[in-house]
Structure 1
Amino acid sequence: MSAEKTLSEPAATATAPGTPLLEVSGLTKHFPVMGGFPFRRQVGAVQAVDDVSFSVAAGESLGLVGESGCGKSTTGRLITRLYEPTAGSVKYLGQEIAHASRKELAPIRSEIQMIFQDPYSSLNPRHTVGTIITGPMEINNINPAGGREARVKELLEIVGLNPEHYNRFPHEFSGGQRQRIGVARALALNPKLIVADEPVSALDVSIQAQVVNLLQKLQRELGIAFVFIAHDLSIVRHFSQRVAVMYLGKIVEIADRESLYARPRHPYTHALLSAAPDADPDNVSAERIRLVGDVPSPLNPPSGCRFRTRCWKAQDKCATEEPPLVQITGSTDGHLTACHFPEEKDVVAAAPAAPASAELPEQRATKTL
């Protein structure tokens, strides 16, 4: 019997009914900071991701949003095991992979793929497009019907490139075209889970909609699940069934998209949504929240609630007790919030982004209408 396999073969993974495709629990990644002379030693740690928990069902899309540097991309790389977690659990179809060896990861590597944020550094400049996309097939010993070259040309057409680009090199493409090559590479093995790290940020606006719609179509037709990392809240709302909001390495709120966008409970989520541009310039009823100061350093995050240094609702309790990510008392919709004093009112509409503030970092956010 041949060891080769085709893309049409189902994965032979036995799991219990109702088992999530991906289950993350207490995921933590601390990067050591070295110092000292002449003997170097660890003098601190960057707490990039700290005690993150969520799950993704088969065929579901989970959006991951937050400010730059909050740990979204690091979380994606931990899921795909490009980084070794410091602590925590990552289960794929019930199988623990957080600290699995290379040999143990081999059978599921083809089922978990990633679309990288940077379309320049993620493609080998010495390889042609055909070599880049067929590489995963060769590694996993996969021969699609019709041959690998035909499959690559089909993928190029799917992502909006010409099949004639097969023999071209990455430097011959624009940033947007390179990102589409990255999407084609992620689709080459017909994965069950794709971690998309800002997959459309480098594309033109007209192409963004095409790629997002393409990913949605593939999700429906092939049952692919996504962890969709992005800054654009409108794209996340359009693409993801559930949304998780990260701040300084922690998830502060997670809910289905309708609940989160209409009724954000965490002050940080409320501020993010209020900063989204409004298509109606005459909408003066929308609330605007200005967050002042910078995000604290992950080398020395604030005690208690990490958002308290920029929160207009912070009280003494927020400095001494870290709020757990739990469902608000009386709620039954699975809306989880990590806040001692959650918001109670609904969002009326999104307002234009607030101008940059010159106030001191230690000052807290203000709310204006």
Structure 2
Amino acid sequence: MSAEQTLSKPAGQAPASGTPLLEVEGLTKHFPVMGGFPFKRQVGAVQAVDNVSFTVGAGESLGLVGESGCGKSTTGRLVTRLYEPTSGSIKYNGQEIAHASRKELAPIRSEIQMIFQDPYSSLNPRHTVGTIITNPMEINGINPPGGRAARAKELLEIVGLNPEHYNRFPHEFSGGQRQRIGVARALSLNPKLIIADEPVSALDVSIQAQVVNLLQGLQRDMGIAFVFIAHDLSIVRHFSQRVTVMYLGKVVEIADRDSLYNKPRHPYTHALLSAAPDADPDNESADRIRLTGDVPSPLNPPSGCRFRTRCWKAQEKCATEEPPLVQLSGSAEGHLTACHFPEDGSTTDSVRVAKAGAKAEAKPEVPEARATKD
């Protein structure tokens, strides 16, 4: 099937129920690279995020997955406006915030919070836990009933810590406990949207389960929407209702969880799912899709489809035309894919074709060999 066999569908469309809480359209972030002597000038740009679009409904969880360096964390920091976008639109509750001033952002800062990846560097070691949690309330002028200290102790209890830990310092806690403190800090302002940037990647497996279950409980009980950034596909499947797959700054596939995991359409998504370990050894298969070559540099990404230099299905069209993110015929409602030659969802056929491409890697007609001539 080719991409011409598509159904008209806007990129990143949210579920039909209600207006999305967050709408991201064409979001782009290029970091300038300076060089030259004696006068510095821009000699290039790192294309960290390029034309990314997705939506998040109120109370919904959207997973954002991909290899390291694909732009997941940068996207999260753009949504929270920790980074200034190069271009594109970010609408929160219908309000455009992509290029809003600090004064314009102030009223909604409390509604969009972030849980950072590293629980060791995201907490100020000179502040007590109580100060870390109450500072956001003080900055935003929030005075909860009973006082800020009482609210901070209540939040510590909500995230599974002892309220008596209020006067302790971060170095007195384990990694999992520190991450719970980070969650409590994010909850201190009663947010409607939380960007969770790989919140469990630095934790032990047993602690990962505790933190993920904690976040799920908060989502269920408090109706908080999540953008859950991770590279662990099993955790994303457990936590997220919809999943967005990124590769080298681009969205290559977006779908609801069951549709994406049961019938991936993009070769890259299929390769990621193939590489994920199975908890049951009896289900483990030696037939895995093993990607060859390295991820291209975002300073000079490939023309056309960015995945073509590692794709076993790449053809000449992939080098000259960038595939649009559309709904392919035969895909579930809202399942969007950016591929000229998408998968049919058959794992056996995909592995067989991928292995055939890997065996032919040294031949001049394979995608990687052609890519060196472009």
2:230 maps to amino acid? A
Compute the displacement of 1:279 (Å): 2.2
Compute the displacement of 1:214 (Å): 1.6
Q: How far apart, CA to CA, are the structure 2 residues paired with 1:345 and 1:175?
A: 39
Higher helix proportion: 2
Check 1:331–1:272 CA distance in 2 against 1; reply closer, same or farther (3 A cut).
closer
How large is the Cα RMSD of the aligned pairs? 2.1
Compute the displacement of 1:231 (Å): 1.1
Compute the displacement of 1:21 (Å): 0.2
Q: How far apart, CA to CA, are the structure 1 residues paired with 2:285 and 2:150?
A: 55
1:154 maps to amino acid? E
Residues 24 and 89 in structure 1, CA contact (< 8 A), matched pair in contact too: yes
Query: After superposition, what is the alpha-carbon deviation per residue over 1:283-321, rounded to whole angstroms, capped at 9, x for unaligned?
Result: 365741001111100000000000000000000000000
Residues 176 and 211 in structure 2, CA contact (< 8 A), matched pair in contact too: no
Match of 1:25, SS? strand
Q: Which residue of 2 aligns with 1:117?
A: 117
Check 1:284–1:72 CA distance in 2 against 1; reply closer, same or farther (3 A cut).
closer
Q: Which residue of 2 aligns with 1:174?
A: 174
Q: Which residue of 2 aligns with 1:33?
A: 33
TM-score by length of 1: 0.88
Number of residue pairs matched by the alignment: 341
Q: How far apart, CA to CA, are the structure 2 residues paired with 1:245 and 1:24?
A: 15
Residues 292 and 364 in structure 1, CA contact (< 8 A), matched pair in contact too: no
For residues 289-328 of structure 1, the aligned pairs below 5 Å read 289-328=289-328
Deviates more, 1:138-147 or 1:85-94: 138-147
Q: How far apart, CA to CA, are the structure 2 residues paired with 1:173 and 1:346?
A: 47
For residues 1-369 of structure 1, the aligned pairs below 5 Å read 18-283=18-283, 287-347=287-347
Q: Which residue of 1 aligns with 2:372?
A: none
Q: How far apart, CA to CA, are the structure 2 residues paired with 1:19 and 1:290?
A: 40
1:102 maps to amino acid? R
1:155 maps to amino acid? L
Q: How far apart, CA to CA, are the structure 2 residues paired with 1:116 and 1:279?
A: 27
Deviates more, 1:294-303 or 1:136-145: 136-145
Residues 327 and 337 in structure 1, CA contact (< 8 A), matched pair in contact too: yes
Q: How far apart, CA to CA, are the structure 1 residues paired with 2:215 and 2:223?
A: 11
Q: How far apart, CA to CA, are the structure 2 residues paired with 1:182 and 1:282?
A: 38
Q: How far apart, CA to CA, are the structure 1 residues paired with 2:92 and 2:215?
A: 21
2:282 maps to amino acid? D
Compute the displacement of 1:105 (Å): 0.4
Match of 2:141, SS? coil
Residues 264 and 347 in structure 1, CA contact (< 8 A), matched pair in contact too: no
Q: RCO higher in 1 or 2 (8 Å CA, sep ≥ 6)?
A: 2
Residues 325 and 336 in structure 2, CA contact (< 8 A), matched pair in contact too: yes
Which ranges of structure 1 fall in alignment gaps of 5 or more residues?
A: 1-16
TM-score by length of 2: 0.87
Match of 2:74, SS? helix
Compute the displacement of 1:96 (Å): 0.1
Query: After superposition, what is the alpha-carbon deviation per residue over 1:93-139, rounded to whole angstroms, capped at 9, x for unaligned?
Result: 00000000001001100000000011122111211111111011001
Match of 1:227, SS? strand
Match of 2:281, SS? coil
Match of 1:155, SS? helix
Q: How far apart, CA to CA, are the structure 2 residues paired with 1:146 and 1:60?
A: 31
Residues 179 and 202 in structure 1, CA contact (< 8 A), matched pair in contact too: no
Q: What's the % identity of the aligned pairs?
A: 87
Compute the displacement of 1:216 (Å): 1.3
Which ranges of structure 2 fall in alignment gaps of 5 or more residues?
A: 1-16, 369-374
Q: How far apart, CA to CA, are the structure 2 residues paired with 1:242 and 1:321?
A: 28
Deviates more, 1:172-181 or 1:33-42: 172-181
